[in-house]
Amino acid sequence: MGGPRRRPETPAERRARFDADEVHSLRERVAEARWRRRLALRRSIDHSYRVGVGIVGGLVVALGLITIPLPGPGWLTVIAGLFILATEFTWAERLLAFTKRHVARWTAWVGAQRVWVRLLIGLATAASVYGILVVGLHLMGVPEWVPGWVPLWR
């Protein structure tokens, strides 16, 4: 699973790599857009916009973190919040790239496993989601809109 670890890329090396193959980061592509350049001309508007992006992105990430243990798109919401933050902040862009790399590694690892291992992972995931749902309904109570035949605590 582990090979030799690469040393982290320095900022100068990263800039050189992006300059060499003309790859632009998400933040750079947004900054080059005409509407964003117009906002950047006025410092107060630019600062307010960045604060607004930080607040909205932070709230989306916080909502995602809260909903991770619940059934639903918790991680997807966190990644969407990071995507929002990455349009303006370099640290969020690096964190989003880190997340993409690890999700790709996990997906490749699961894809390389035998069918029975993938089924076991799927069953473990389904069992944990079911357990979280049952415990959550037990702690918060079953809503009134749930039909009476559902065999949970009332």
Cβ atoms within 10 A of the Cβ of 54, count? 15
Do the Cβ atoms of 48 and 40 come closer than 8 Å?
no
Q: pLDDT of 74-132, one tens digit each? A: 889 999 999 999 988 888 988 988 888 898 898 899 999 999 999 999 999 888 878 87
DSSP class of residue 29 equals H
Do the Cβ atoms of 18 and 24 come closer than 8 Å?
yes
Q: pLDDT of 4-18, one tens digit each? A: 677 777 777 766 665
Q: Is residue 29 predicted with pLDDT exceeding 60?
A: yes
Q: Is residue 143 predicted with pLDDT exceeding 80?
A: no
Do the Cβ atoms of 79 and 99 come closer than 8 Å?
yes
